[in-house]
């Protein structure tokens, strides 16, 4: 794994954890409620390899013994945004639509959906039962409103705070993968675009008036890779112009 990569990743012997926290003097990995000291590397990267750690393990990062925070690159938050992050084994998912290569933009007939309101159950799994109906009506693309984990059980997705963790209110990551896989098996494109929000690095020196500088420093979620000034910016919302013949391209700003 690159030293500049956020988050947790399974290894041959266990799991590897990485966090960029240049303003912190100390970072501990709190794994299943047990703190483990992390090694500080270049440019403020902290890392730790844990033998025997497996998928399903829950963890947080402890900054300077002041505050425990979830992983900004978390792949799943089973106990919501303030709870621990969960190590996910992405490689183990048995994708069925191995030959899926997408379809031409000119064929796009898109429906925008909110997972929580699209079915009575409001889950990824429940949406699968509706896919045959969508395909039979001529829909070729399924857009999911933003899925990034947000606080609470209900939301439109525009207040997501952990961009790599699909919200647990709708199901687990493997449930979302199953929905995507089933959509592809029916020839349906799947897409989701984040709403524009500002994601900037939170450093010790970014808010001199902060009474508790450790409360939110050196944790960023703008990218899974080492941040640069050019990456600390506003992210625009992708606007898709829906046409049956593809006469207009997608517009982004």
202: nearest Cα among 8, 77, 63: 63
**Per-residue pLDDT at 195 exceeds 90:** no
Which residue blocks in the chain are alpha helix, DSSP H?
Answer: 115-118, 124-128, 131-136, 173-185
Q: Is 212 exposed, middle or buried (0-12, 13-18, 19+ CB in 10 A)?
A: exposed
Instruction: Give the architecture (CATH level 2) of 93-147+170-196+235-252.
Output: 2-Layer Sandwich (3.30)
Is residue 45 within 8 A of residue 89, CB to CB? The reply is no
Q: Tell me where in the chain the CATH 2.60.40.10 domain(s) lie.
A: 7-91+217-231
Q: What is the H or E stretch that residue 252 is in? A: strand 251-252
189: nearest Cα among 116, 113, 122, 118: 113
Each residue of 130-164: pLDDT tens digit? Answer: 999 999 999 999 999 989 898 888 888 788 888 89
| pLDDT interval class at 215 (50, 70, 90) | very low
Q: What is the CA radius of gyration of the chain?
A: 20
| pLDDT interval class at 194 (50, 70, 90) | low
Helix (H, G, I), strand (E, B) or coil at 205: coil
Each residue of 70-110: pLDDT tens digit? Answer: 999 999 999 999 999 999 999 999 999 999 999 998 999 99
Is residue 32 within 8 A of residue 58, CB to CB? The reply is yes
Query: What's residue 156's pLDDT?
Result: 81
Each residue of 23-78: pLDDT tens digit? Answer: 999 999 999 999 999 999 988 999 999 999 999 999 999 999 999 999 999 999 99
Q: Which CATH fold topology does 7-91+217-231 show? A: Immunoglobulin-like (2.60.40)
Q: What is the H or E stretch that residue 177 is in? A: helix 173-185
Q: Tell me where in the chain the CATH 3.30.750.90 domain(s) lie.
A: 93-147+170-196+235-252
């Amino acid at each position: 794994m690159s030293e500049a990569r956020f988050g947790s990743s399974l290894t041959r012997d266990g799991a590897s954890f990485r966090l960029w926290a240049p303003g912190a003097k100390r970072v501990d990995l709190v794994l299943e409620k047990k703190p483990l000291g992390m090694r500080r590397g270049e440019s403020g990267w902290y890392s730790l390899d844990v033998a025997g750690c497996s998928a399903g393990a829950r963890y947080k990062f402890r900054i300077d013994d002041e505050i425990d925070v979830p992983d900004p690159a978390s792949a799943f938050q089973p106990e919501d945004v303030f709870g621990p992050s969960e190590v996910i084994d992405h490689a183990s998912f048995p994708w069925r639509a191995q030959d899926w290569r997408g379809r031409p933009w000119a064929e796009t007939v898109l429906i925008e959906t909110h997972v929580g309101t699209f079915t009575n159950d409001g889950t990824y799994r429940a949406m699968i039962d509706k896919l045959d109906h969508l395909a039979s009506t001529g829909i070729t693309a399924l857009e999911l409103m933003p899925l990034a984990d947000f606080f609470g059980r209900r939301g439109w997705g525009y207040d997501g705070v952990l961009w790599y963790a699909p919200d647990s209110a709708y199901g687990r990551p493997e449930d979302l993968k199953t929905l995507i896989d089933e959509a592809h098996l029916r020839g349906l494109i799947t897409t989701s675009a984040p709403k524009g929000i500002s994601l900037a690095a939170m450093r010790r020196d970014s808010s001199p008036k902060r009474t508790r500088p450790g409360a939110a420093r050196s944790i960023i979620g703008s990218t899974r890779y080492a941040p640069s000034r050019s990456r600390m910016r506003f992210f625009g919302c992708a606007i898709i112009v829906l046409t049956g013949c593809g006469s207009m391209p997608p517009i982004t700003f």
